[in-house]
Chains A and B, each alone.
Chain A
Amino acid sequence: MAFSLKYADALAVVSISFVTALLCEAISWLLIYRTSSYKSLRQSIDRASKKLDSLKSPSNKSTPNSKKLDRVETSLKESSRDLSLAKFKSGGVVAGVLIVVFGLLNSMFEGKVVAKLPFEPIPLVRKMSHRGLPGTDWTDCSMVFLYMLCSISIRTNLQKFLGFAPPRAAASAGLFPMPDQKIN
Chain B
Amino acid sequence: MKKARSNKAQAQQQSNGTSHSKLARYLDPNSSWDKDKLLDTLHWIRQALGLSCGLVWGAIPLVGAIWIILFLAISTGVVYWVYSQRLKIDEEEFGGHGALLQEGLFASFTLFLLGWILVYSLVHF
* Residues 1-43 (chain A) with a chain B CB within 8 angstroms: 1-4, 6-8, 10-11, 14
Given contacts A4-B122, A11-B122, contact A118 B116 (CB under 8 A): yes
Residue of B nearest to A119 (CB): B65
Q: Which of A51-59, A62-70, A104-112, A176-184 contacts B (4 or more CB under 8 A)?
A: A51-59
Interchain CB contact under 8 A, B92 and A119: no
B67 at the interface (CB under 8 A from A): yes
Count chain B residues whose beta carbon lies closer than 8 angstroms to a beta carbon of A.
37
Per the bound structure, the CA–CA distance linking A6 and B118 in Å amounts to: 12
Per the bound structure, the CA–CA distance linking A57 and B123 in Å amounts to: 50
* Interface bits B66-98 vs A (CB < 8 Å: 1, else 0): 011000000000000000000000101100000
Contacts of B47 in A (CB 8 A): 157
Interchain CB contact under 8 A, B106 and A152: yes
Contacts of B64 in A (CB 8 A): 118-119
Interchain CB contact under 8 A, B59 and A118: no
* Interface bits A140-172 vs B (CB < 8 Å: 1, else 0): 010000100110110011001000000010000
Per the bound structure, the CA–CA distance linking A119 and B108 in Å amounts to: 18
B61 at the interface (CB under 8 A from A): yes
Q: Which of B7-15, B22-30, B35-43 contacts A (4 or more CB under 8 A)?
A: B35-43
Contacts of B43 in A (CB 8 A): 160
Interchain CB contact under 8 A, A149 and B123: no
A71 at the interface (CB under 8 A from B): no
* Residues 99-125 (chain B) with a chain A CB within 8 angstroms: 106-108, 110-111, 113-114, 116-118, 120-125
**Other-chain contact of A119, B40, B50, B68, B90 (Cβ < 8 Å):** B68
A117 at the interface (CB under 8 A from B): yes
Interchain CB contact under 8 A, B118 and A14: yes
Given contacts A116-B121, A157-B47, A168-B39, contact A14 B114 (CB under 8 A): yes
Per the bound structure, the CA–CA distance linking A65 and B77 in Å amounts to: 38
Contacts of A141 in B (CB 8 A): 117, 121
Contacts of A153 in B (CB 8 A): 50, 107-108, 110-111, 114
Contacts of B57 in A (CB 8 A): 118
Interchain CB contact under 8 A, B120 and A1: no
A115 at the interface (CB under 8 A from B): yes
Interchain CB contact under 8 A, B65 and A7: no
**Other-chain contact of B117, A10, A50, A58, A59 (Cβ < 8 Å):** A10
Query: Nearest Cβ in chain B — how far from A144, in angstroms?
Result: 13
